[in-house]
Amino acid sequence: MVTQPHLLRLFLRHAGMSPLDFLQAVRLERARQSLGHGASVTGAAAAAGFLSGLLLRRAWNRKWGGTPRDALLTATAIGPAGEGLQRSLQIKDRCALT
């Protein structure tokens, strides 16, 4: 029989993060894609599985800093919605690594 702690250890070893952190990363990526396709923050939150726009904003701030709306405003200054948003988040990720 495989125990829950053993499965957790295996997941951590192979994914490099806990199942909850993995789920959060998947939801944030889904929200980012929805925003890039023109969804509102509330719509992106619902599409990604967040219970509210507030919870999306909190998770977004912990991951990338700022808010989804800030990222959208930056993205529109950089280029087309989907590409600009992705590029602006890549820039934030690179800055966070330094």
Residue 34 belongs to a domain: yes
Tell whether 35 is covered by a domain: yes
How many domains are there within the chain? 1
Give the pLDDT confidence of 39-86 residue by residue, as tens digits: 999 999 999 999 999 999 999 999 999 999 888 877 766 655 455 566
Question: Is 27 within the bounds of a domain?
Answer: yes
Q: Could you tell me the pLDDT band of residue 98, with boundaries at 50, 70 and 90?
A: very low
pLDDT for the residue 3: 95
Location of structure tokens 């405003």:
73
> Has residue 8 been placed in a domain?
no
Dist CA 27 CA 35 (whole Å): 12
The CB-side HSE value for 2 (13 A sphere, CA atoms) comes to 6
The model's pTM is: 0.73
Domain that holds residue 58: 20-97
